[in-house]
Amino acid sequence: MIALIQRVTEAAVAIDGDTVAAIGPGMLALVAAEPADDAQRAARLAERVLSYRIFADDKARMNHSACDAERAVLAVPQFTLAADTRRGNRPGFSTACPPDRARGLFDDFMAALRSRHGIVEQGVFGADMQVSLVNDGPVTFWLQA
């Protein structure tokens, strides 16, 4: 599984103009599944997202995770992260997990997040979402499990 994480001062997901999820300071995680992924990889990615140290300590060094810093996490399913972009000018999606399996893996990822961290929001799988954020830093990392 793949997560593109960004440290944010705020982030939100809207569908048809209605906000369905929002956080203040924390982390936005865009999440995609690949065909070889399973529940174990979903749990491992959730662990990595929550443990990745992107928040500043008292010396302004990135030494705190979302759990350490008690920061919110907004997870958004985004299959396009798994696109094959090695050739041409149009992405291919044969490298992305089929939607029915990907939905279950995203649910596994969310369950693992929620079991370890209490400040979690999520986007809606398969919806046409408008994601807004203010990237803090900017700080952005690509994680795989």
Active site residue 78: yes
Active site residue 144: no
Q: Answer whether 130's CB lies under 8 Å from 14's CB.
A: yes
Q: Which helix (H) or strand (E) holds 107?
A: helix 99-116
Please state, in angstroms and rounded to a whole number, the distance separating the CA atoms of residues 56 and 33: 29
Marked catalytic residue, from 80, 85, 130, 144:
80
Q: Answer whether 27's CB lies under 8 Å from 53's CB.
A: no
Marked catalytic residue, from 6, 78, 106, 125:
78
Marked catalytic residue, from 79, 106, 109, 125:
79
The amino acid occupying position 128 is D
Active site residue 6: no
Please state, in angstroms and rounded to a whole number, the distance separating the CA atoms of residues 34 and 101: 9
| Residues marked as catalytic | 78-80
